[in-house]
Amino acid sequence: MEIFFTILILILVVSLSGVVTRMLPFQVPLPLMQIAIGALLAWPHFGLHVDFDPELFLVLFIPPLLFADGWKTPTREFLHHGREILGLALVLVLITVVGVGYLIYAMVPGIPLVAAFALAAVLSPTDAVALSGIVGKGRIPKPIMGVLEGEALMNDASGLVSLKFAIAVAMGTMVFTVGGATLEFLKVAIGGLLAGVA
């Protein structure tokens, strides 16, 4: 019965967050408002605590959100801006992984460089769902928004490959090569596209 009341409270809070956001005299993105209210509810004094398996969360919530965001992305625009999207998804994520990795290595004493790269690989890819939720519609020109949404959908492959290689090198089970990383990226990206089309 407790889980029923918890779900009821969460549904009510999500509904009210939209009303509160519209009533504010200044503009706040709805996801940020929901995060703030969720953080308040998680405060120990309120006593709202949900035991949730992260693996279950990844299976139940992330794929439908990504699918819905990918479904809304216009195919013609995605193909038209393919070069820019792939350039951002590959080059920008890799530059960010290297830059943030060295920054973490310099700022956190005692952390191995490979572990810093693994953490940077987790932080580097932008979130497709968060991007569309925070930016909203009409604030950015449509062609630019199409490129950003396409990049946000594709950059997970770069981040996953970077993370896989960083962890494998840290554990000593793999030696990093550019050819191996490229092949792994193509497997993840094309496999994801084929699974999405099917």
Picking from 52, 53, 74, 55, the residue whose alpha carbon sits closest to that of residue 63 is 55
Residues 115, 147 within the same domain? yes
Picking from 115, 123, 119, 116, the residue whose alpha carbon sits closest to that of residue 170 is 115
Structural domain includes residue 138? yes
Whole-model pTM: value is 0.60
Residues 21, 45 within the same domain? yes
What is the extent of the structural domain holding 178?
A: 65-197
Residues 38, 93 within the same domain? no
Supply the DSSP symbol for 126.
P
Tell me if 147 sits within 8 A of 192, measured CB to CB. no
Q: Could you read off the pLDDT tens digit of each residue along the chain, which spans 198 residues?
A: 566 777 788 788 888 888 888 888 888 877 788 888 888 877 767 666 666 666 666 667 667 766 776 777 777 888 888 888 888 888 888 888 889 999 999 999 889 888 888 888 888 877 655 666 666 666 777 777 778 878 877 777 777 778 877 888 877 776 767 677 777 777 776 776 676 666
Picking from 117, 111, 151, 113, the residue whose alpha carbon sits closest to that of residue 131 is 151
The count of structural domains within the chain is 2
Structural domain includes residue 59? no
| 177 φψ region: left (φ > 0), alpha (ψ -120 to 50), beta (else) | beta
Structural domain includes residue 153? yes
